[in-house]
Amino acid sequence: MNEQLPATLLDASLWTGKLFSGEWRLGTAEVNIVEPATGGSLGRIGMADAGLIGEAAAIARQAQVEWSALHHEERAAIIRRAARLAEHYFDEIVGWLIRESGSTQGKAAFEASVNSRLLHECTGLPSRSAGEVLPSVPGRLSLARRRPLGVVGVISPFNFPLCLAMRAVAPALALGNAVVLKPDPRTAVCGGFVVARLFELAGLPAGVLHVLPGDGAAGAALTADPNVAMIQFTGSTAAGRKVGEAAGRHLKKVSLELGGKNSLIVLDDADLDIAVANTAWGAYLHQGQICMASGRVLVQRSLYPRFVEKLVEKVKGMAVGDPATGNVHIGPLINAVQRDHAAKVVADARQAGARLEIGGNYRDLFFEPTVLSEVTPDNPAFNEEIFGPVAVVTPFDSDDDAVELANRTEYGLSMAVISSDVGRALRIGERLRTGMLHINDQTVNDEVINPFGGFGASGNGTSIGGPANLEEFTQWQWVTVKSEAPMYPF
């Protein structure tokens, strides 16, 4: 980029003790940002209460009117500039993802690159066809057109903090909405302030975007605010149920992207080494803190003993440590609550009859990559979302058994089948109740051009991303035009 830019995207003097509401301002309280790997402080951020949420939503509603009225190329140019800025500050963004969210270097680099690609993809949204001409009676023009919703409230999680915030913020803005983003306070810098700063430097008009870290009360205020037309929530199923209930009570459109207990099915004709590699990636990427993680590994019985043996060998070669100091496979979990949850599920699984093949211990927030075998369908580890680096391995006999076991869950996010017979794998896939299906891959897959979503306890059947964005972040308006008004009989 030719113009003079700040040396750093996030100079601490800009955001310390503050949040973003069209400008950097003090919050109603301050909290410490903790580096999971070391326990050290990364700085202090401002927090928003219900009053500040309401104030921001009112400002956003006013600002949205002018923003949506801008020529589509003006909106596209701002999104395009934000994408170039994301590329310019790539290394700094990666550094924040590593230190604040505990991401390994590879995961952080991938997330930062997805962020840039997502922004580039959204530059085409402002110029998309906004509707269609409908059949009508002679003398009347009938149109159906997509219109911005107004203010979109986005509540984003800690695990892929930047990507899962930007995948809602960018398309919502591109389609003419204003946005109030409430990032998880544990990752408010990489998952919130990066977003604010990119769009601030890109020239987004003040008031169109607000980034307000806050607790559950702030989220509840956002969901209830009359100036907010839609809530896009990504997080746990338990929290999502509350958000969905509140949004429905206030007659808001709501998109819920929730948890998953995703099955990776390994058939008896699969290449063993490939199957083990896919399992390790799907179960241990980002310490298993991914809604799409391969939470169940269902292995056909004839392959099962050798599979478990090879998976244990794979785990023995995985490095655990501070991702800021080396290229490790497993970094820290986000906090002690998540660590203790993973430890409890492992302990309960063993008590229920599962075999601990390797791992199960932790030091500080570093949880060892773990393999549990002989996990039966009534075992807690088979049913609970662990959100930790734990591979849960269960044998099955027939293809019908695999389908039955995979579908034995309230979740329906992502599933995968590995086989040398693609036709067989597809026949199994057709019977799986899941929002996303991958043949000859593991369950953790997402790109900026695909509709992402699940059903059941994994969401409310909505999707965002790719072709789903236009539908999700706009609403239909029917317009008719006559050359002159008719005279009605009464």
DSSP E strands in 117-171: the ranges are 131-134, 140-148, 151-155
Q: 126 phi and psi, to 5 degrees? A: -60, -25
Q: Which of 291, 357, 368, 472 is catalytic?
A: 291
Q: Which of 121, 30, 227, 65 is nearest to 449 (CA)?
A: 121
Contacts of residue 241, defined as CB under 8 A and 6 or more positions apart, other chains included, come to none
Beta strand 131-134 with 178-182 is unpaired
Among 164, 196, 194, 198, residue whose Cα is nearest residue 180: 196
The answer to whether residue 30 is catalytic is no
Six-digit token pair at 464?
A: 């965002």
Q: Is the pTM of this model over 0.85?
A: yes
pLDDT at 3: 74
Q: Write down the pLDDT at residue 1.
A: 63
Match 């391995």 to its residue by tokens. Answer: 393
Q: Which amino acid is at 312?
A: V
Which residues of the chain are under the pLDDT cut of 50? none
**How does DSSP assign 88-110, residue by residue?**
HTHHHHHHHHHHHH---HHHHHH
121 is an active site residue: no
**Helix runs in 203-271, H state only:** 216-224, 237-249
Digit-coded pLDDT (tens) for 76-120: 999 999 999 999 999 999 999 999 999 999 999 999 999 999 999
Instruction: Using alpha carbons, list the distances in angstroms from residue 124 to 77, 173, 301, 315.
Output: 10, 12, 49, 43
Name which of 14, 40, 43 is nearest 31 in CA terms: 43
Of the candidates 131, 116, 42, 128, which has an alpha carbon nearest to the alpha carbon of residue 86?
116
Q: Which of 121, 257, 385, 472 is catalytic?
A: 257
| pLDDT score, position 461 | 87
**Amino acid letter, residue 385:** E
For residue 1, the SS3 value is coil
